Amino acid sequence: EIWDFEHEVAVATNRPVILGLDGGTTSTVCICMPIMPFSDALPDPLPVLARAVAGCSNHNSVGETAARETLEQVMADALSKSGSNRSAVRAVCLAVSGVNHPTDQQRILTWLRDIFPTQVKLYVRNDAVAALASGTMGKLHGCVLIAGTGTIAYGFTEDGREARAAGAGPVLGDWGSGYGIAALALTAVIRAHDGRGPHTMLTSTILQTLGLSSADELIGWTYADPSWARIAALVPVVVSCAEAGDEVANKILKEAVQELALSVKAVVQRLGLCGADRKNSFPLVMVGGVLEANQRWDIGREVMDFISKDYPGAHPIRPKVEPAVGAALLALNEFMKECVQEAYRR
């Protein structure tokens, strides 16, 4: 039994708390924070009571039952570590990958409602929303660009409209992602090997990195375990070849920059974040390993340069807190807004 009722009674405290969850494709993090007055000046550091980590909670990857068990376990762990229990919870923000449609949202909300009493506020979002909130400290406004193994752009207007671009996985064209960059590099090696493409430094560098002796062996290596993260781990090799002047690697990275910038532009245009004259200021939160490379060939900076030509008001933000903290701040922000609205109605 995940929820130990006797233990819950034993550790019960009266301190009200909120839970923020970030459920990605590799791990799930749950943050427990106390309810605190919400203002523009949040305490620094933030008063995190507990942090718990579990495995993947994307129902598309592990199935519905396993995803639920993971989410229940990580919430129970965070509450236990903080000396709290479910009766202390006032709001939960569950930001999990695989939430792509209102039916996904509703299904998870129904399940969460079985766990928490009716007075607990529940918010279910895509995990990109937690990443945005980690840069805006809980405010849903602006655009987030995530570029790690996969990629997605997600945006919100201040009046609650939202839009997304990309994020459909490698088969459906997330070409600016870590997987997309590395897959193009592997393709370039095969093309060079069989005479369809130009010679490239990627061949010797990738083979050396993987401990292989010929490009023919690369086919077996790729299909032995075609997991996205394993392929995406080759991005630093592509960057180093581009920095060394390899034309093929350079072209792959330039195309990735254009793809990533295009997904941001699509969101900004659909939501009108830039205003009628395209000069309005808005936050652009940038998250993920592909954007954090500190080499001379800086993909994140190139993407930002590309975007700021069209939208000079785009304000780049590199979050100082993790997405699960963003989810907790989002829960806090929404909870406080609802409290104000309820008080006003009275």
Over residues 276-334, the pLDDT tens digits come to: 999 999 999 999 999 986 678 999 999 999 999 999 999 999 999 999 999 999 999 98
Strands 282-287, 314-317: pairing kind: parallel
Instruction: For 24, list phi and psi in degrees, rounded to 5.
Output: -95, -170
pLDDT score at 10: 46
**How far is it, in rounded angstroms, from Cα 48 to Cα 271?**
33
At 154 the three-state DSSP class reads strand
Over residues 245-272, the mean pLDDT reads 97
Q: Which CATH superfamily is domain 140-319 in?
A: ATPase, nucleotide binding domain (3.30.420.40)
Query: How is the chain split into domains, by residue range?
Result: 4-137+321-345, 140-319
**Cβ-contact 220, 160 below 8 angstroms:** no
Best CA proximity match to 95, nearest among 65, 146, 130: 130
Instruction: Please determine whether the domains at 4-137+321-345 and 140-319 fall in the same fold group of CATH.
Output: yes
Contacts of 339 (CB under 8 A, 6+ apart): none
Residue 320 has what DSSP assignment? S
**How far is it, in rounded angstroms, from Cα 26 to Cα 57?**
8
**The pair of three-digit structure tokens given for residue 310, joined into one six-digit string:** 């069209």
**How far is it, in rounded angstroms, from Cα 172 to Cα 115?**
35
Reported as a single tens digit per residue, the pLDDT across 165-196 is 998 888 887 889 999 999 999 999 999 999 99
Taking the chain, what is the end-to-end CA distance rounded to the nearest angstrom? Answer: 41
Does domain 4-137+321-345 sit in CATH 3.30.420.40?
yes
